[in-house]
Structure 1
Amino acid sequence: MVNRKRLDPTESTAALFGAKLRKLRDEAGLSQAQLAEAIGYSNDTISKVETAAQAPSPQLAEHIDAHFGTGDTFQELQPLAAKEGIPTFFRPYADLESGANSIRVYEPVVVTGLLQIEEYARAVLSPGQHVNTIDLAVDARMNRQRVLERKEPPWVVIVMLESVIRKEVGDREITKAQLARVLELSNEPYINILVVPDGAQVFPAAGFTLFTLDDDPEIAFVESAGGTGRVIEPAPRVAELRRLWDLIVGSALTDVASQNLIREVMEGL
């Protein structure tokens, strides 16, 4: 009890979620370990959620409500808490990503977030992040990947430059593990990962994503300087980006050749 982190529920929704959970747990006379065992989670998860170091998952919120008989209280807070590790400018992207039927990503800098392992994400996100927010930012990125676990996941095509897979991020072991994850996901029937080889026609340095939602026209998200970006609604500019996308894909290796190149780079680390 002496080393307990003080909680300010007004700081954020994640902090409010954690404060409410701690209060209920204390009133029930349960330790974090006892609650974790009762609802089927690790002690570490309960601790991090209570201190807002980790965003709660939808499943955890549901189990907490069921255990304490709190109706939908925690389930209603969960989506807001989960978004807080995502920068404000990027939240429209995350919303589009979570509801899209198809996602087409052009990535010229690093392995895209949907494919990142935790260690790689931490290395990418750490520069410029306050030490108190990095855990929440990494967790939010990992939560985004749940879209790939849906019963009917979106069709995903990711095109990245060869320089992306050759770039060492974190250290060699992290980069090697990341490339292994990319290869693993490339075997999923709904994911295509293509590499544009060095020496191909030069394309814009900024990445972009094209989303399809149901039968609606495509919507684009274009990355900008400083890690920011903006959504582009259906307009001639989206059609221009689709034409650019087609040109980029036309310069990429086939999926099999891309896998072979990724494997070659990974084995050479």
Structure 2
Amino acid sequence: MIEQQEIYFSYLGNGVIAQFAYGCRIFEANDLRVSVDGVVKALGVDYTITGIDDVQGGEVTFVAAAIPVNGAVVELQRVLSYKRAVSYIQNGDFRPQTVDADQDYQTALLQQMEFTLRRVLLVPPDANADDLTLPPLATRKSKLLGFDINGKFGLFDASYTVVVQQGIAEAATLIRADASAGPVNIDLPESGEVVVIKTDDTANPVIIIATGGKTILRQASVELSVQDEALRLKADGMNWYRV
């Protein structure tokens, strides 16, 4: 009988160890997904397995050519098909071992669902389901999912801000700004020399913004709107000017 079990096991390879344990019941060899650094390995080619139908689990043994290298992430996870494996008919097989195996499989599926639910975002009970519905694909392209000032779920422009640090020993700071997903704001430092290049070919602007009450070319901000357009700026202690 299956009791509470973990269904996921993670290890780090060291280039020497070939055996890795899993501590849950699997019903068939293919119920255990084995991967190394995210790449699923092939049963009978990369590894063999013991402990099939053992409630305590067993071991995966990699063949010599497939032993995980040092630092590789080895993942073992029970992944079952969502199916009903036993059909009960009148005057058919209703022996305890048959019923117990059937219930174990259903319990294992519930554990699989619980494992998945532990890794998803949850909302409080008072959340309105309508507020969590994604808009159509065309509407949400190049948008970010987020929450407004009222905590309501919604779409926002995919923009971001780069806060520029002053270069070391008067060296110019180079900023390559990619605005393909949305407008990019470049917040200049208090002083120094900065080169900003717009690298993408979209119409989204790269907005260079002065801070600390300074101006850029006598304006609060300037925009780059064409691919490969660049601006080299230097602060004179009061404001920013083109170099």
Which structure is larger by alpha-carbon Rg, 1 or 2?
Answer: 2
Greater share of residues in strand? 2
Higher relative contact order (CA 8 A, sep 6+): 1
Under TM normalisation by the shorter chain, which class is it?
Answer: under 0.3
Greater share of residues in helix? 1
Q: TM-score, length-normalised on structure 2? A: 0.24
